Chain A
């Protein structure tokens, strides 16, 4: 598309262009994959988001090399901060790592595809509707998939509940087991402080058909973000009752909780 090519030419530095080209995504003849991923859009998106990543949130990513360089993998993290900035930051951390970069796919809320422009832009930079069929097909496609098992329970939480993990769904564990995908737990610290919300206007959210409407300052604060990647956790695909699956989910949850605690204790100041 001419406008996209123009933006790409004007914005994308050569080094980043090469960096993204190193990640060989299976796409069709016009550069799209079935979920709408587009290489040019990714390059533009990453160029812009890298500025946020480096200059605004000054992200520190520990242990990003723990994400396997190939094969299916689930990157499971705590969700926070009203906007899906945490997914974006994890994505950039992984795409900009020196050794074997990957462009992960983030599973997004069901609400996004209904939003004009935003839904399309998110799809083009690799985000995908958070549907189990999508996740399964992506893992079968050897993709690295970012999952927030807390869903809107996590992203919509209020400032007073910060860093408290909400209930994790079990879906990601079933998929990890079925597709023999290692799980890399990630603790995200800092996104809670980007948009601190004091209340949620539920009736308005229901009227607008959105998951939540936070009462917060209309700005995104430049909180410093720490990402801590844990060791990959591998689970077999044994036929076990749901109760045991929940135990496995809890094991992942406690790892994430530990990573968050480490991040919080290492953090010297909020901004």
Chain B
């Protein structure tokens, strides 16, 4: 009987390590339904899991069947995956479909995962960027347009349908066990490229802390856009050293040189359109999220880097 009263949550991006961490934290208190664009994952007998494209009509059947109370949208396709067109369809149009259905079926809490990449990397970025700062990324690279568009869309729904209680989280680099994004791949690799003469300040959040942050945010329906980052910073090259990576410097000036080189190399973990993130700092200010939701990250940078260093030796 008690089981029947548990609220239902739809979690997208279920094949990712972060979603699985979130699911593990929520499975005792909620009825969860997991979906992923890429593959169907087995998450236990109690959690129905689907491989589904949000743009297909059958997606609505899930809303009809499960009467969701909330949505945790982590299924953003990262900039290193698929083609820009497919990413746009999945991230922007798919999110629009998801939000339309959320509105239609009376959902009252939506948490959306974005990225700090939306701020864009330029030499003139101040440090500790607030949530109100312009999202320059769309103007700097076509490959990041879908990330910014996803946010714009979520923002429109945030104001148009306040009952959805949308919170958009913009985390810094999410890293740690199981994370497959480009930063995690770099830290895990034996040799990592660096831009010669540039070592921008970076922020890292452990996947467990990020999962805690999402669960915490879901539990307190406060609308808005929030940066999520711990109060700790390290330069990129120092981070690589602490992870036991050998740094491979790429010529950095004039910018056309490394850009052409990276296009030629076509490295998945160091794509040319993210090049400037390895030259100029994009340091975000996470204090609003910490104060609003009472978030305290638990895993220090050294622990994060130790994981990468130790797994490297065992491989």
Query: Could you tell me which A residues sit within 8 Å of B by CB distance?
Result: 1-2, 28-30, 32-36, 38, 110, 113-120, 123, 128-129, 131, 133-134, 137
Query: Could you tell me which B residues sit within 8 Å of A by CB distance?
Result: 123-128, 195-201, 231-235, 237-238, 241-242, 252-253, 280-281, 283, 300-302
Chain A residue nearest to B241 (CB atoms) is A1
- Cβ A34 vs Cβ B124 within 8 A: no
- Cβ A28 vs Cβ B253 within 8 A: no
Q: Select which of B125, B198, B232 is within 8 A of A28 by beta carbon.
A: B232
Q: Given contacts A116-B197, A123-B201, list 9 more A-B pairs with CB under 8 A.
A: A28-B233, A35-B127, A36-B200, A38-B235, A116-B252, A117-B197, A118-B197, A131-B126, A137-B127
- Cβ A133 vs Cβ B232 within 8 A: no
CB neighbours (8 Å) of A123 from chain B are: 201
Chain B residue nearest to A132 (CB atoms) is B126
Contact A134/B235 with A29-B301, A113-B280 known, Cβ cut-off 8 Å? no
Please report the C-alpha to C-alpha distance between residue A38 and residue B245 in the assembled complex, in whole angstroms: 21
What are 19 A-B pairs at a CB distance below 8 A? Answer: A1-B241, A29-B302, A30-B233, A30-B302, A32-B201, A32-B233, A34-B127, A34-B128, A35-B127, A110-B124, A113-B280, A116-B195, A116-B196, A116-B253, A118-B197, A119-B197, A120-B199, A123-B201, A131-B124
Contact A28/B128 with A113-B123, A114-B123, A119-B198 known, Cβ cut-off 8 Å? no
Q: Select which of A36, A113, A118 is within 8 A of B235 by beta carbon.
A: A36
Taking the nearest CB of chain A, how far is it from the CB of B263, in angstroms?
Answer: 20
- Cβ B124 vs Cβ A29 within 8 A: no
Contact A133/B126 with A30-B234, A32-B233, A116-B252 known, Cβ cut-off 8 Å? yes
- Cβ A28 vs Cβ B234 within 8 A: yes
CB neighbours (8 Å) of A33 from chain B are: 233
- Cβ A116 vs Cβ B127 within 8 A: no
> Once A and B bind, how many residue pairs between them come within 8 Å at the CB atom?
78
Q: Select which of B124, B125, B126, B281 is within 8 A of A36 by beta carbon.
A: B281
- Cβ B126 vs Cβ A137 within 8 A: yes
Contact A134/B127 with A29-B302, A30-B238, A30-B301 known, Cβ cut-off 8 Å? yes
CB neighbours (8 Å) of A129 from chain B are: 123-126
Please report the C-alpha to C-alpha distance between residue A119 and residue B253 in the assembled complex, in whole angstroms: 13
Taking the nearest CB of chain A, how far is it from the CB of B136, in angstroms?
Answer: 14
CB neighbours (8 Å) of B233 from chain A are: 28, 30, 32-34, 36
CB neighbours (8 Å) of A29 from chain B are: 232, 300-302
Q: Select which of B198, B232, B281 is within 8 A of A116 by beta carbon.
A: B198
Please report the C-alpha to C-alpha distance between residue A70 and residue B216 in the assembled complex, in whole angstroms: 37
Contact A34/B123 with A29-B300, A116-B252, A137-B128 known, Cβ cut-off 8 Å? no
Taking the nearest CB of chain B, how far is it from the CB of A109, in angstroms?
Answer: 11
Please report the C-alpha to C-alpha distance between residue A120 and residue B200 in the assembled complex, in whole angstroms: 8
Taking the nearest CB of chain B, how far is it from the CB of A64, in angstroms?
Answer: 28
Taking the nearest CB of chain A, how far is it from the CB of B91, in angstroms?
Answer: 29
- Cβ A28 vs Cβ B124 within 8 A: no
Chain A residue nearest to B300 (CB atoms) is A29
Please report the C-alpha to C-alpha distance between residue A128 and residue B290 in the assembled complex, in whole angstroms: 25
- Cβ A120 vs Cβ B127 within 8 A: no
Please report the C-alpha to C-alpha distance between residue A2 and residue B241 in the assembled complex, in whole angstroms: 9
Taking the nearest CB of chain A, how far is it from the CB of B297, in angstroms?
Answer: 11
CB neighbours (8 Å) of A137 from chain B are: 126-128
CB neighbours (8 Å) of A120 from chain B are: 197-199, 235
Chain B residue nearest to A110 (CB atoms) is B124
- Cβ A35 vs Cβ B124 within 8 A: no
CB neighbours (8 Å) of B198 from chain A are: 116, 119-120
Please report the C-alpha to C-alpha distance between residue A119 and residue B125 in the assembled complex, in whole angstroms: 13
CB neighbours (8 Å) of B200 from chain A are: 36
Chain B residue nearest to A113 (CB atoms) is B123
